[in-house]
Amino acid sequence: MRLLLKSNRALVVLAFLALAASVVTASPPQRVARDPGTRTTVITTREAYEKLCRDNPANELVPVPSLIPDIRAEVRYASRDNFLGRALYPDASLFLTRIAAEKLARVQADLRQHGLGLRLYDSYRPYSISETMWKESGKKFAAYLAPPWLGSDHNRGIAVDADLVRLPTGTALPFPTDYDDFTPKAWHGSPCDHPQAASNRERLRTAMRSHGFVEYRREWWHYHLAEAEGFPLLDISHSELARRERRVSAQKSRAACSPNHGVQKE
């Protein structure tokens, strides 16, 4: 009996230690993409994302208009006007990592000097939206969409889909094809019917390249930062990012209204 009690006590202690160890060594709040043969990690939780931002502020997703107030936008994935025929985003908000947004602001500053500006079709795209696109696109677009587990730079917040407009009117300039035209006509180097389209395509490429973006050769509209290393795949929804923005601006307002605001510590 005593032996039994002892062993029971030992079991309780062991169970407690196991529980404590599981809490301490709980896997980080990330998940491995559900794809055979790959080990793509995707940041999915607010806690993991906040840690990422603390560790490297360049990774923080910021609203693009906060750095580029005169940027134009036509976010097709927030409407039914896209290849899936339904809205995939809750609204037309645009987010990029801080470093990408800062570089894009320099592109816009250069273009502005010539009376031109960027119009964005897409920027940061949550990983789960890429999964949805992949699942729902069917065979028709299979040759043009990359499997999500390969990791899109849109999921890293370092890619944009863009064309050019005149400022301040917002009049669109001609380009070789419509956005998301999944045909060889959209490739860089393809001949264009419109005489100005090829030069606009080249003008956009020159402007983007001069601030660290590189093109995808099959889509004249797609640009991403040349260096993707250190930018993980993210699955933080647009709604969550919008809530975070509201929290951050409320904190800033409270700090500004604090009676100690502006009082320097000695």
Q: Which stretch binds Zn ion (CB under 5 A): 33-41, 205-213, 218-226, 244-252?
A: 218-226
Q: Which is nearer to Zn ion, 53 or 144 (CB)?
A: 144
Burial of 244 (0-12, 13-18, 19+ CB in 10 A): middle
For Zn ion, how many residues bind (rule: CB under 5 A)? 2
Q: Which is nearer to Zn ion, 114 or 217 (CB)?
A: 217
Torsion sign (Cα): 25, 26, 30, 35: positive
What is the nearest approach in angstroms of Zn ion to the Cβ of residue 154?
Answer: 6
Assess whether the previous peptide bond of 168 is cis (omega < 30° from 0): yes
Q: Is there a contact between 128 and 235 (Cβ–Cβ < 8 Å)? A: yes
CA distance 244 to 68: 19
Q: Which is nearer to Zn ion, 98 or 222 (CB)?
A: 222
Q: First-to-last CA distance in the chain? A: 68
Of 222, 225, 234, 238, the residue at the interface with Zn ion (CB under 5 A) is 222
Is 125 a binding residue for Zn ion by CB under 5 A? The answer is no
What is the nearest approach in angstroms of Zn ion to the Cβ of residue 187?
Answer: 14
What is the nearest approach in angstroms of Zn ion to the Cβ of residue 123?
Answer: 9
What is the nearest approach in angstroms of Zn ion to the Cβ of residue 257?
Answer: 41
Q: Which is nearer to Zn ion, 211 or 222 (CB)?
A: 222
C-alpha 201: how far from its chain's center? 23
What is the nearest approach in angstroms of Zn ion to the Cβ of residue 184?
Answer: 17
Q: Which is nearer to Zn ion, 98 or 224 (CB)?
A: 224
Q: Which is nearer to Zn ion, 48 or 68 (CB)?
A: 68
Q: Which stretch binds Zn ion (CB under 5 A): 86-94, 143-151, 214-222, 244-252?
A: 214-222
Considering only residues 131 to 170 of the shown chain, the ones binding Zn ion according to CB under 5 A are 161
What is the nearest approach in angstroms of Zn ion to the Cβ of residue 94?
Answer: 13
The residues binding Zn ion (CB under 5 A) are 161, 222
